[in-house]
Amino acid sequence: MTQVVDRRAQPGTTTSSRERFVRRNKKHIKEAVDRAISNGNVTDIGSGGVDVTVPKRDLSEPIIHHGQGGINDRVHPGNKEFIKGDRLPRPQGGGGRGSGKGEASEDGEGEDDFTFHLSEEEFLNYLFDDLALPNLEEKKEADLERTKLAPAGIVSSGAPNKLHLLRSKRQKMGRVIAARKPWNDKILELLAEEKEILGSYDSDAPTEKIVSGLPKAWSPKRDQIRGLEKEVSSLKDKFGVAVSGEHAARIADIEIEIAAAKRGISLIPGWNESTDLKFRLSLPKPIPNSKAVMFCVMDVSGSMDEETKNKAKIFYFLLYRFLKRHYQKTDVVFIRHHTQAEEVNEHDFFYKKESGGTMVSSALTLMKNIMNQRYNDGNWNIYGAQASDGDNWESDNGKCRTLMDDILKDTQAYFYTEITDGSHQNLWRTYENVKSAYPEKFWMGHIVDRKDIFPVFREFFKRNGKDGQSVASQLKPQAYAIG
Amino acid sequence: MTQEQKRDYRKEIEDLLSNYEDGWDIFTKAQDWSHPIRFKPDAKGHDLPDTWLGLADRVISIIAHGKYGLDTYPNSIWVITAEQMLDAYSSVGMPVNYDHWSIGKQRVQEGKNYNAGRSGLAYEIVINSSPSIAYCMTSNTTLMQMLVIAHASYGHNSFFKGNHLFRQFTNAETIIDELEHLRDSIKKYEDLYGIDEVEALLDAAHALENLGVNRYTKPKKRTPQEEAKRRADLEEIRLQNVNHVMDTVRGKPAPADDFNKSSSNVTIPADLEENLLKFLASYAPHLKEWERDLLRQLSDKAQYFYPQRQTQVMNEGWASFWHYTLLNDLYDLDLINDKMMLEFIDSHAGVLFQPDHDSRYYNGRFNPYALGFAIYQDIKRICENPTEEDRRWFPDLVGKEWLPTLKEAMQDYKDESFVLQYLSPKVMRDFHMFAVHDDEADDELEISAIHDDDAGYKHVRRVLASQYRLGDIEPCIEVAGYDYQDTRMLTLRHKMFNNKPLDKDNTTRVLKHLHYLWKHPVVVHSVDEEDTVADTLAIPRAAKDEGPKVGEKMRYTMHLTM
Q: What share of chain B has pLDDT > 90, as a percent?
A: 44
Contact B432 A80 (CB under 8 A): yes
CB of A358 closer than 8 Å to CB of A299 = yes
Do A435 and A335 share a structural domain?
A: yes
CA distance B65 to B322: 12
Ramachandran class of B93: left when φ > 0, alpha when ψ lies in -120 to 50, beta otherwise: left
A216 found inside a domain: yes
Q: Which of A228, A248, A276 is the last residue of a domain?
A: A276
CA distance A299 to A290: 29
A444 found inside a domain: yes
Do A443 and A336 share a structural domain?
A: yes
CA distance B157 to B150: 10
Question: Hey, is the C-beta of A12 within 8 angstroms of any chain B C-beta?
Answer: yes
**Phi, psi (deg, nearest 5) at residue A467:** -100, 5
Do A388 and A268 share a structural domain?
A: no
The 10s digit of each residue's pLDDT in B210-227 is: 888 887 766 566 556 666
Question: Hey, is the C-beta of A377 within 8 angstroms of any chain B C-beta?
Answer: no
User: Could you give the 3-state DSSP secondary structure of residue B96?
Assistant: coil
**Phi, psi (deg, nearest 5) at residue B291:** -65, -40
**A392: Cβ contacts below 8 Å, ≥ 6 apart:** A358, A359, A360, A400, A425, A426, A427, A430
Do A271 and A367 share a structural domain?
A: no
A144 found inside a domain: no
B107: chain A residues, CB-CB within 8 Å? 14, 17-18, 21
CA distance A441 to A74: 75
Contact B77 A2 (CB under 8 A): yes
CA distance A338 to A360: 7
What pLDDT, on a 0 to 100 scale, did the predictor assign at position B30? 87
CA distance B313 to B464: 12
What are the E-state strand segments in B218-318? 267-269
Query: What is the ipTM score, two decimals?
Result: 0.83
Beta bridge partners of A149: A284
A42 found inside a domain: yes
The 10s digit of each residue's pLDDT in A145-176 is: 456 778 888 888 888 888 889 989 998 888 88
For residue B5, the surrounding DSSP H or E stretch is none
A239 found inside a domain: yes
CA distance B379 to B401: 10
CA distance B67 to A427: 93
What pLDDT, on a 0 to 100 scale, did the predictor assign at position B213? 84
A479 found inside a domain: no
For A:267-296, CB contacts with B below 8 A are none
Do A247 and A366 share a structural domain?
A: no
Residue in B431, B385, B414, B420 with CA at minimum distance from that of residue B318: B414
Contact B432 A87 (CB under 8 A): no
Do A266 and A335 share a structural domain?
A: no
Burial of B142 (0-12, 13-18, 19+ CB in 10 A): buried
Burial of B269 (0-12, 13-18, 19+ CB in 10 A): middle
Burial of B235 (0-12, 13-18, 19+ CB in 10 A): exposed
Cα-Cα end-to-end distance for chain A:
65
CATH code of the domain in which A353 resides: 3.40.50.410
B364: chain A residues, CB-CB within 8 Å? 74, 76, 94, 97-99, 101
Ramachandran class of B45: left when φ > 0, alpha when ψ lies in -120 to 50, beta otherwise: left
The 10s digit of each residue's pLDDT in B257-308 is: 443 344 444 556 665 678 899 889 988 888 998 999 999 999 988 888 888 8
Work out the pLDDT band at B3, boundaries 50, 70, 90: very low
Mutate which of A66, A88, A106, A114 to disrupt the B interface (most B C-beta within 10 Å)?
A66
**Phi, psi (deg, nearest 5) at residue A278:** -125, 140
> What one-character DSSP code corresponds to residue B334?
T
Do A317 and A450 share a structural domain?
A: yes
Nearest CA in chain B to A2: B75
Do A302 and A271 share a structural domain?
A: no
**Phi, psi (deg, nearest 5) at residue B311:** -130, 25
Q: Which of A226, A241, A276 is the last residue of a domain?
A: A276
Contact B463 A74 (CB under 8 A): yes
Range of the domain at A183: 165-276
Do A387 and A298 share a structural domain?
A: yes
Our count of domains for chain A comes to 3
- How far off is chain B from A77, nearest CA to CA, in Å? 5
Bond preceding residue B131 cis, omega within 30 of 0: yes
The 10s digit of each residue's pLDDT in A457-480 is: 777 766 543 333 444 443 333 333
Do A394 and A260 share a structural domain?
A: no
Do A328 and A239 share a structural domain?
A: no
Do A331 and A214 share a structural domain?
A: no
What pLDDT, on a 0 to 100 scale, did the predictor assign at position B118? 62
Question: Hey, is the C-beta of A17 within 8 angstroms of any chain B C-beta?
Answer: yes
A414 found inside a domain: yes
CB of B490 closer than 8 Å to CB of B518 = yes
Q: Which of A129, A157, A185 is the last residue of a domain?
A: A129
A21-25, A28-32, A439-443, B224-228 — most confident range: A21-25
**Maximal CA-CA distance, chain A:** 127
A153 found inside a domain: no
Cα-Cα end-to-end distance for chain B:
35
Work out the pLDDT band at A138, boundaries 50, 70, 90: very low
- How far off is chain A from B250, nearest CA to CA, in Å? 45
